[in-house]
Amino acid sequence: MSRFIILISSLILLSSCSISINSTNYKDLTQSEKALYAPFDAEITKAPFRYTDSFKVYEIDYNSIREIARTSNKKVWLHFFAPWCKGISCENLNYVNEIGNKYSDSLTLIFVATAYDYPNIRDKMKGSKVTRPVYVLDGNVYGSNISGSQKKFYQDLTQASRRKYSDDYLLNEDGTLIYFKPFKLPVDSFAVKLDALVSNTN
């Protein structure tokens, strides 16, 4: 009986979450929520970003990222994060930001939220030291399934039929993929390789 009660309680808790399991929440956005998101703007990456009470989250696709790489003439590091996640492995935005600052002369760091979850994106970014804008994969291009959207994005990156994804990617100045970190490895493993990856591909 106690197991049944625990199961029911868990289901109620999950149903109350702002993001459905494996959903980017794209299809459920109200008009007022949609106003919090904006189309990609290349100019936004060129200056420090301030997280005000009503900052915009920018929608991107592979073509947007390729434009960032080509116009900046820098490599691009894409770091995906789950806005609602409170675990230690998820609360690493400041650490990632510090690494990005270290290589800022030759690298553009892009933070990509895995879902249209503005309340949690807002809390996470305003509570961080990040001075870069935050992005989300364009739901109109990649759909409303979290893993599905990331797999489609990986296919755009690689032009490969195999559908997999990572949470950290490094792209060359022309937008081609140089390296991606195996999904469940910590970001530390990416940081260790980053110096060699950046310097050896210049």
Write b or e for each residue in 5-28: b if 16 or more Cβ atoms lie within 10 A of its Cβ, otherwise e. eeeeeeeeeeeeeebbeebbbbee
Domain presence at residue 8: no
Domain presence at residue 12: no
140-186 pLDDT, tens per residue?
A: 999 888 888 988 998 988 877 666 778 899 999 999 999 888 767 77
3-state SS class at 78:
strand
Tell me the pairing of strands 134-137 and 107-113.
parallel
Domain presence at residue 186: yes
Encoded tokens for 102: 């270290």
Domain presence at residue 177: yes
Domain presence at residue 4: no
116-134 pLDDT, tens per residue?
A: 999 999 999 988 999 899 9
Encoded tokens for 19: 């993001």
Domain extent for 69:
25-200
AA letter at 19: I
C-alpha distances in Å from residue 137, one per residue of 30, 184, 189, 194: 18, 20, 24, 24
CATH number of the domain to which 195 belongs: 3.40.30.10
Q: What pLDDT does residue 188 have?
A: 80
User: How far, rounded to the nearest angstrom, does the alpha carbon of residue 200 sit from its chain's CA centroid?
Assistant: 25
Domain presence at residue 50: yes
Angle at 33 between CA 30 and CA 86, to 5 degrees: 115
What's the pTM?
Answer: 0.84
Counting residues of the chain whose pLDDT is more than 70, the rounded percentage is 84
Question: Distance between CA atoms of 115 and 150, rounded to whole angstroms?
Answer: 11
Q: What pLDDT does residue 47 have?
A: 75
User: How far, rounded to the nearest angstrom, does the alpha carbon of residue 27 sit from its chain's CA centroid?
Assistant: 19
What is the 3 state secondary structure string of 106-153?
CEEEEEEECCCCHHHHHHHHHCCCCCCCEEEECHHHHCCEHHHHHHHH
Strand partners, 169: 78, 180
Domain presence at residue 19: no
Number of domains in the chain: 1
Q: What pLDDT does residue 77 have?
A: 94
Domain presence at residue 15: no
